[in-house]
Every structure is written in structure tokens, then in C-alpha cells.
Structure 1
């Protein structure tokens, strides 16, 4: 049986899908995941991976935090990667999410395009990072900052021999 956080995320995915009038088949196809996997996620029989959450967030048009119920302290993790939601600010025109990232040295986090108009910013606290998006590459060292359009596929890699510690801010406009 899935854990309570996984079951809660699955229930949120189902509610958002139904709210948007999408069938299970349509969302699975748009997210590029199997219909059976999505069904198991929604029913709470499967814990979602970070890749799966990002995959469904885009087609649903919501920020990742919406699937985490915007709960401070919620953790989204995969092997060698952990994002802890520190804060969410929901304004009239956008939602901003602030995460503390911990990425093991050499690990690459690939992210599909977020909702239209989304922008990410990264402030490196320790280690180094290479950010790649839309044919661009930016290297950021401790104390540095990068910003990029997050409505295109992008990735960041913990560069060098040290683990990356960074603050990641994702701003998603409403109505995208």
C-alpha cells in the first residue's frame, strides 16, 4: 500500500484531472506515462516519483507544489535528488514555490516543461551547478544565481565533486 503522502498526491492528481474534464487515458498520454501507472497513482496503490509528478503537473497546468498540497516541509525526491518545499506564495497573478535542493555530485535532474510562462531561479549555496535549457548552458558556482524559462524542458547537474545545495524558486503564472 502507498504511503499517506503518496496517496494524498494521487488523490490531488485525480481531483485536478476530473476538474479539467480529462480522462485517465488523455492525461496519461499527455504526461507520457502508462494509463495503468496513472490509475495506480490516483488510487493510492503507487507512490509517485518526482518524474511522474512533474510529468502530470505540466498537462494539468499546475505547479509541482499543487500536487504536494503546497505543504511546507513536503519532500519530492528521487535517487540522488531531494527537494524540500520551504514556502509557497499564491498571489493574484502567479504562484511562487521555494525549494531547498540537495543534489548528489554528478546527478542530473531532467525536468519536462512546466506550465506556460513558468520561470525558475536557482541560488547555489554550496557546490556547483550546470543548468541547460533550449540550447543554452549556464554554469553556476557557490554564491551564484541563474534564471531560465521553465516552460521548456530543462536540466541541472550537480557539477564537480561536491554535492549541490541550492534554493530553487519556481514562479508559475495563473491562467496558463
Structure 2
């Protein structure tokens, strides 16, 4: 998955007409680290993935699910109308504090992800243009929606918030939280679009 994700990031960067140095400046990540990511030799953290997605004019779920049709074994069926991802398929990012797995591949109107997370401290706020829906499968979570308050959710609970709402989360309790998170899709800008920016909150 690390190499596949790196190739995806490299292809998007080139499609957008960005050098590695320019992408490094937009994401505030080092150029050597970006080079390692693109070659599949380093795993980006979720905050780094968020920065990369924003700088490339896409979303983190879209980066994970991949916009390329029929690449590798990410899905059994992958066409304009259907994406069938078996339990042993799909793109996954694994880190020390959990993992995220894309549950569809290709460009879609929505991006469901399975998160297993044990993040116990709030990280930086994240913001994206699409709406987000969280369903807690197991564990307990505190979701900080900035001026919209902090909400504690547990198994069976759901939380929806509109695009543009700053948010972050942390696990409450001893066990990791397992979540189904769905973000609405956004169309990635064409290479000719000039106003691709990264928002740091």
C-alpha cells in the first residue's frame, strides 16, 4: 500500500504541474520526506496525508481510495457505477496510532473509510470541503468540532457535520475505537486550476 499511495501522490503532483519542492512548500513537509513517500519508503501520518490531499486539491479518502481504475488488487469490481472491495482488498495506511482503510476505490461521490484509532491526545484541527459522517462500531471517542463543541460518542452513536467545520478527535478509555467514517466526495481541480491552497488551522 505504501508504494501504491506514493505512486498516486507522485502522479497527482505531476498532473497538477507541481515540483516536489513546490509541494513541500505547500504542505510544510520536507522535500526528502516527500521523496521517500513517493518512492514507497516512508509512511505519511494522517496529518501529513491531510496536508498532501489539500495541497493536491483532493481529499484524504480520495487519496487512499485512488483515482486510477484497475490498478493492483484494490477492488474486485471498479467501474463508474460499482466498486466492490473484498475484506482482503482496499488501500490501507497503518501507523503507530492506528490504521485507515479505504472501502471504495476510484473517484466517488462519497468515501467510506474504516478507522481503527488509539489517538489519546487531540492533534491539530483538520478541515475539508465535504460533509463527514461518523458511526462508532466500538470504543469511545471525543470529537472536538471547535466552536460547535466537544461531543463524546460511543458504540452505535453517529455524528454528522458539514464541510468546512474544523474537527479533531481522541479516544476515551482503554481500547482503540473502530469507526466507519464517510466523507462526501469533491471533484479534484484540473491541472489548469491555479488556486490550490493548503489551509492550516
TM-score by length of 2: 0.71
Match among 19, 36, 40 for residue 36 of structure 2: 40
Q: Which structure dedicates a bigger proportion of its chain to strand? A: 1
Q: CA deviation digits over 1:46-69, x for unaligned, max 9? A: 333333322201111112243334
CA distance in 2, matches of 1:76, 1:122: 19
Whether the 8 Å contact between 2:49 and 2:60 is mirrored in structure 1 is yes
Label 1:111 to 1:43 Cα distance change in 2 as closer, same or farther (>3 A): farther
More off after superposition, 97-106 vs 11-20: 97-106
CA distance in 2, matches of 1:87, 1:44: 21
Aligned to 2:111: 97
CA distance in 2, matches of 1:47, 1:141: 29
CA distance in 2, matches of 1:90, 1:48: 21
Whether the 8 Å contact between 2:58 and 2:188 is mirrored in structure 1 is no
CA distance in 1, matches of 2:43, 2:26: 20
CA distance in 1, matches of 2:121, 2:174: 11
TM-score by length of 1: 0.79
CA distance in 1, matches of 2:106, 2:5: 20
Kindly tell me the number of residue pairs found equivalent between the two proteins: 167
Residue 161 (str. 1) matches residue 174 (str. 2): yes
Match among 71, 74, 77 for residue 91 of structure 2: 74
Aligned to 1:128: 140
CA offset at residue 45 of structure 1? Answer: 3.5
Root-mean-square deviation (Å): 2.5
Whether the 8 Å contact between 2:65 and 2:106 is mirrored in structure 1 is no
Unaligned runs of 5+ in 2: 67-73, 75-84, 190-201
Label 1:156 to 1:112 Cα distance change in 2 as closer, same or farther (>3 A): same
